[in-house]
Structure 1
Amino acid sequence: MRTKNRLEAKDSKYYKPEITHCPKCSEKLVYCHPVWRKTISTLEGEVKVINLGYRCDNETCSNDTTYRSAQAEHISMKHITYGMDVIANIGYLRFQEHKTRTEIMEILNEKQVKISDRQVQKLYERYALLLRANAKENAEGILNHVVKEHGGIILSIDGVQPEKGNETLYVIREVLSGTVLAAKNLKSSASTELMELIKPVMDWGFPIQAFVSDGQQSIRLAIEKLAPTIPYQYCQFHYFKDIAKPLVEKDRKLKTNIKKKLRGIRAVERKIDQMGTKTHEAEIAEDYIAAIRSVLLDDGKPPFDLPGMRVYERSKAIKTSMEKCRDKKGDYST
């Protein structure tokens, strides 16, 4: 029994083919039937899409092709009820923001996209599939330009595991251009499986100047077996991250201590709520509470953007502002 569609679209969009005349006889195409229709969940809301089919009505013409809208086909993938914008957003949150499957689900739900963590995983796999399918075709022109300008390409290899126990997604990028060349989910991080990922990229024939990775032993072994004469470098970001661990630990303690001293804002909020009629001073206090709350949620990206120092600087700026306000208007503490 077919389950009821969980999506309820308020709007419907009809799409016609981009070509209006038959390529063979030049007769005008006429509507025949809807090629497909489905409700799609996008970042902008749920919409019902109907892709209309048109064909040549000339009886003497041998063209029996049913033409459809390419624009409609680009809205979502076949057998998927989510838009390509949702799939792209999942890829961005995973690769750029390093969010977990559950975190991605929560972010999309806040954007009114109905999705479960299991569906996030499926769309995440589709995103990786799209990367693999288009990598070589889209990358060759960019790589030719890089080789012409720099004499060769530099490859970085990194693995991302959304959650423990899941497959690890390994991605190969060209460093100088930032182009993704390959992406594949691997059940094992063994050097033999990594070699099967790296070798097809090497077979493209572009001169490789160096490899860069986070120092993972299996990656280094795979590179050593495939390209023993090509230089290998430990990723500078991971290098700085390792040597900065003592500083990051002290910064973490600084952040924790500062945030402990800012935890009393809820009591101030209660006093303001009990006042009944809000005064101008109470409104100012609410603005400062909002600023302090944003500090509590603030975070950085060590080792180059230390969260403790960021919280310290923002807290100091709020304190300076409050002192100036008190000096000008008097002490409005409640």
Structure 2
Amino acid sequence: MNDSCSNNTVYRSAEAEQLSMKHITYGMDVIARIGHLRFKEHKTRSEIATILTEMQVKISERQVQKLYERYALLLRSNVEENLKDTLEEVVKQSGGLILSIDGVQPEKGNETLYVIREVLSGTILAAQNLKSSASQELMGIIQPIIDWGYPIQGFVSDGQQSIRLAIEKIAPDIPYQYCQFHYFKDIAKPLVEKDRKLKTNIKKKLRGIREIERKIEDSSSETFEEEIASDYIAAIRSVLLEDGKPPFELPGTRVFERTKAIKDSIEKCLDKKGDSSP
């Protein structure tokens, strides 16, 4: 800085200004991180502040809340970008839009983020935090999209009653469909419960592997058989961590299939060992 200069004009870097929002000293990366921690990992404001502080970002819970609100604002502003061309193409190709409505609540008792998505194109049309999930509140985010004037072929949701009531009040003539994934999930509950019991029973039968591990650990020699046994134990332990996504991927069934494959492999090894015995 030149002290002899009488001009008090401040010159800012346009490139540097793009790294943060106006009137915000934190960068866009911090805002994005807060959004990820809030909606993806369901962290509280206090937890987010602690995590960022550990990452050498000094921030308070109040500042976390302000940046979280900016994140939500950015989500909403992104909706308008290239939206018109996309929706007109969907109408041209399919005759109308199909809208899905769903809510994500990071914590019980807190605001719920409701998202309206055009199913055929995957485009987010609205994303708004609501303090209440009442049908009257939901009508406030559905009605503006209907007012755009695009033909709507149908609505899809998880069956939440307040969503259905809102749709019935605003657009009673537009077909409504219960989300197929939630439908299959509901009708598959008895099967999923039996699958859970299957996985539990298999785990009970495999509890003895720890005793085998101890014998191998206590052994003073490292034989070829012990090495093979250790590999099988590692395979079994990985199976015990197996998980799935019911109703289409049942974890119990996957555990059964993988343990059966391990059992068949062990039996083949024992048969070969028996054949090679003098």
**TM-score of Structure 1 vs Structure 2, range by shorter chain:** 0.7 to 0.9
Are residue 265 (structure 1) and residue 209 (structure 2) matched? yes
Q: Which segments of 5 or more consecutive residues in structure 2 lack a partner in the other structure? A: 2-6
Are residue 227 (structure 1) and residue 190 (structure 2) matched? no
Map of 1:213-292 to 2, 5 A cutoff?
Answer: 213-292=157-236
Distance 1:87 1:318, change over 3 A: farther
Q: Which has the higher strand share?
A: 1
Partner of 1:101: 43
Are residue 164 (structure 1) and residue 108 (structure 2) matched? yes
Are residue 148 (structure 1) and residue 92 (structure 2) matched? yes
Q: Which has the higher helix share?
A: 2
Partner of 2:263: 319
Distance 1:272 1:128, change over 3 A: farther
Distance 1:88 1:189, change over 3 A: closer
Q: Please give the alpha-carbon distance, in whole angstroms, between the structure 2 residues aligned to 1:165 and 1:281.
A: 57
Distance 1:137 1:205, change over 3 A: farther
Amino acid at match of 1:168: T
Q: Deviations over 1:29-78 (max 9, x none)?
A: xxx8xxxxxxxxxxxxxxxxxxxxxxxxxx9xxx9853342697179x94
Q: Please give the alpha-carbon distance, in whole angstroms, between the structure 2 residues aligned to 1:310 and 1:131.
A: 38
Instruction: Give the structure, 1 or 2, with the largest relative contact order (CA under 8 Å, sep 6 or more).
Output: 2
Partner of 1:69: 15
Partner of 2:244: 300
Amino acid at match of 2:43: R
Partner of 2:81: 137
Instruction: Give 3-state SS (helix, strand or coil) of 1:73's partner.
Output: coil
Partner of 1:44: none
Q: Please give the alpha-carbon distance, in whole angstroms, between the structure 1 residues aligned to 2:154 and 2:117.
A: 12
Instruction: Give 3-state SS (helix, strand or coil) of 2:222's partner.
Output: coil
Q: Is the 8 A contact 2:32 2:71 kept in 1?
A: no
Distance 1:84 1:285, change over 3 A: farther
Q: Is the 8 A contact 1:156 1:173 kept in 2?
A: yes
Distance 1:85 1:225, change over 3 A: closer
Q: Decide which moves more: 143-152 or 215-224.
A: 143-152
Q: How far did 1:295 drift? A: 1.6
Q: Please give the alpha-carbon distance, in whole angstroms, between the structure 2 residues aligned to 1:83 and 1:320.
A: 52
**How many residue pairs get matched?**
259
Q: Deviations over 1:271-291 (max 9, x none)?
A: 222124433333322222222
Q: How far did 1:218 drift? A: 0.7
% same residue: 66
RMSD (Å), alpha carbons: 3.6
Q: Deviations over 1:106-155 (max 9, x none)?
A: 9xx8xx96899x79x85766554432221122433322221221111100
Give the TM-score normalised by the residue count of structure 1: 0.66
Instruction: Give 3-state SS (helix, strand or coil) of 1:211's partner.
Output: strand
